[in-house]
Amino acid sequence: MDLDGWLADTRTSYDTVAVDYADFVRESLANAPNVRAALDLFADAVADFGGGPVADMGCGPGHITGYLHNLGVNAFGIDVSPGMIDVARREHPELRFEVGSMTALDLPDESIAGALAFWSLIHIPDEEVPSVLAGFRRALRPGAPLLIGFHVGDVSRLKTEGYGGHPMKIYVRRRRPAQVSAWLSAAGFTVETETLLDPESSTPGAILFARRRS
C-alpha cells in the first residue's frame, strides 16, 4: 500500500500504540450501554436485511468486530494499521481482518450487507470524507445499513501522544451530526436515527444509523 502524508502518519501512529490501545478499549463496551444498544440494533438490521458480510471500517484491535460476531453478524475488519491488524488477529483468531484503507476501499461493488465506521472517520480530513462515503456506498448492497460513530464538536486537534505515552501524529476531528448527515445524504444514504452520547460531557459523541439508497 502506497501511503503518504496524513494517512501514513495515521498508520505509523496506530502501529506504535496498537498493543496499549487494545488494552485501553478491551472492556470499553462493558461501560457503554448506549453504544451496545446501537450495535445490537445494527445487528438486527443486518439480519432483517438478509445477512451477509459486514465490514468494520477502521476496526483497530477488533473489539467491535468481535462484539458483532458474538451477535451472529458475519463481520470482518479492515484497518490501515498493520500493527492493529496483527493485534486483532491474535485476539480474534476466528475472524477475518485485512490491512486496507477506507480511502481506497478494496471491496467489490455491492458485496457487503452492512458497514460501520466507529470513531475511525475522525482521522479523515473533511475534504476526503465525501469520497470515503462514496466508497462505502459502492461496496454496500442497496438498502444495506451503515452505522457511524464520531466525536461531536467544532474543533480538530493534533494528537501527539497516545496510549501508553507513545508518540503519535494524528488529527482528531470533532464534527456536528448535521454535517455528517449532510455528507451521508449527498453520498446516497438516508439517515434514519441519530443518537447523542454524553451530550453534556467534555467529550460528547454521536451515532448515526443510515441506509444506502437504491
pLDDT in tens, 108-146: 999 999 999 999 999 999 999 999 999 999 999 999 999
The string of pLDDT tens digits covering residues 73-112 is 999 999 999 999 999 999 999 999 999 999 999 999 999 9
Judged against a pLDDT cut of 80, whether residue 161 lies above it is answered with yes
Mean pLDDT within 169-197: 97
What would the grid cell of residue 157 be? 486537534
Please state, in angstroms and rounded to a whole number, the distance separating the CA atoms of residues 63 and 140.
22
Q: What is the mean pLDDT of the chain?
A: 95
- What pTM did the predictor assign? 0.95
What would the grid cell of residue 180 be? 455528517
The set of residues, in sequence order, having a beta carbon less than 8 Å from that of 177 and lying 6+ positions away, is 152, 194, 196, 206, 208
Which of 2-6, 41-45, 158-162 shows the lowest mean pLDDT across its residues?
Answer: 2-6
